[in-house]
Amino acid sequence: MVRVRFAPSPTGYLHVGGARTALFNWLYARRHGGTFVLRIEDTDAERSSWDMVAGIVDGLRWLGLDWDEGPDVGGPHAPYFQSQRLDRHRELAERLVRDGRAYYCYCTADEMQRKRADAEGRGETWTYDRTCERRSADEIAALEASGTPRAIRFRVPPGETPFTDLVHGPIAFDNANLEDFVILRSDRQPTYHLSVVADDIDMAITHVVRGDDHISNTPKQVLLYQAFGVTPPAFAHVPLILGPDKKRLSKRHGATSVMEYHRLGYLPEAMVNFLALLGWSPGNDRELFSRDELVAAFTLEGISGGNAVFNPEKLDWFNQQHIARLSSAALLARLETRLEDAGLWTDDLATTRVGWILSVLDLLKPRVKKLDQLLDELRPFLVDDPEIDPSAAQKYLSSGEVRSLLDTLASALETVEPFGEATIEATLRATAERAGVKAAALIHATRVAVTGRAVSAGLFQVLVLLGRECVVRRLRRILNYTPAA
Ligand code: GLU
């Protein structure tokens, strides 16, 4: 039974790297009918906040990465906030002391700092020198009697700690390079290594899928599993995400928060598809996947060991593809709030004019990369009279002859039957020819008059969708239009 977890520390929003880790865990759970656990590792009280927890939860929900156990949904291993599990971690630390796998350490920060400085002065790196491991019973009794604060250190055994990483293959660390690390601080705060292992054991986690930055933590954690007499889970360390300049992805490269991509007009389907291919490959050239198709194709073995590069143009491409794949009805639902915010929504778009707006979306959706762009393309269809872009006017409406020809065209279009693409086109071409003006010039001028812009979807389709009355009115307004000098 597969049980995986996403275990974010809520010290920031959900960033692209975290979202990808969550996605890989989620895909693996769904692929194998397993359980996806969300555990909030909020032990750093100063750096964690509810806002950050909410931000992470919102990000996961937006991406559609639902969890089977965790905040809000609960589960058999509650609580899912690490800060509420610390007593259990303390108990386990004491157990390791009783079992001889860990020991109390009375060394003060000052003492250790001095030793470290001395060693560095000699050009050496200092690791904990096991002062407290060698103390006599009398010494310990005296330290206890004087109430000296004590931490708990794990006694690293000699030898090697090997583990198999499902991404990187077999890895072994020489224990000589691992100092006797602290598992419980002198203020009784458990450290990350203890907490994460304790919770993964208690939550029966079978696979730990997380960022490459945790590889060096793994031997210490494997040693803890062994000390608790528990078989470690399988590990899969996922490569880092780099910016296009091959440096670690950061804000310098643009948005790193997942919800920022939501605001920028990306679809969650596109984000999921894009993130999945950052470091994972289906083993062939296929790129476009729905969420279900990813679930069916996902394997941990398909994760590559090399770093993944975040390419914003690729994300745009995925977004364009997923927008085009979405039905116009689904697209309209996604746009509703944005249209409202832009003051472009009217309730008849969901009732009497729904057929019309869906046809407009059919026309526009292949043209855009982001929802914002779509909103912009929709504007001429949803406002009374769109503003005219001055540079478009300068280019295509500067001739008085063409401007008055728009009025002639308006009159011709008032009576043409039916008001369809072919008849409109024939009328426009005939109007241009009679006046000895190039059809292209009249087409451009018409587009600017009617949409306010120099570029749009196919003009005759646009005119049909706008309808006769609107087109005639917008063409006529040009008679009173004075182009900027
Ligand atoms: N809370 C840790 C982090 O956010 C994750 C620990 C883990 O996955 O083992 O980096």
Over 90: is that where the pLDDT of 45 sits?
no
485: confidence class by pLDDT, cuts 50, 70, 90: low
Lowest mean pLDDT, pick from 41-50, 412-421, 448-457, 461-470: 41-50
| Confidence at residue 87, expressed as pLDDT on a 0 to 100 scale | 98
Mutation choice for ligand 1 from 25, 196, 200, 215, CB with most ligand atoms inside 8 A: 196
Average pLDDT of the chain, as a whole number: 96
User: What pTM, to 2 d.p., does this model score?
Assistant: 0.92
- Residue 139, phi-psi category: left (phi > 0), alpha (psi -120 to 50), beta (remainder): alpha
| CA 4 to ligand 1 centroid distance, Å | 13
Residue 105 Cα to ligand 1 middle (Å) = 26
Q: Are 327 and 268 in contact (CB under 8 A)?
A: no
| Distance from C-alpha of 381 to C-alpha of 451, rounded to nearest angstrom | 8
CA distance linking residue 334 with residue 329, whole number of Å: 9
Q: Is the model's pLDDT at 6 over the cut of 90?
A: yes
Of residues 204, 253, 256, 254, the one with CA closest to residue 225: 204
Buried b (16+ CB within 10 A) or exposed e, 194-231: bbbbbbbbebebbbbbbebebbebbbbbbbbbebbeee
Q: What is the pLDDT of residues 319-334, one digit of tens each?
A: 999 999 999 999 999 9
- Is residue 138 pLDDT above 80, yes or no? yes
Residue 7 alpha carbon to ligand 1 centre in Å = 5
pLDDT surpassing 90 at residue 3: yes
Share of residues in the chain with pLDDT > 70 (%) = 99
Tens of pLDDT, residues 333-392: 999 999 999 999 999 999 999 999 999 999 999 999 999 999 999 999 999 999 999 999
**E runs forming strands in 254-325:** 308-309
Residue 284: pLDDT over 80: yes
Q: Which of 81, 208, 214 to mutate to test the pocket of ligand 1 (most atoms within 8 A of CB)?
A: 214
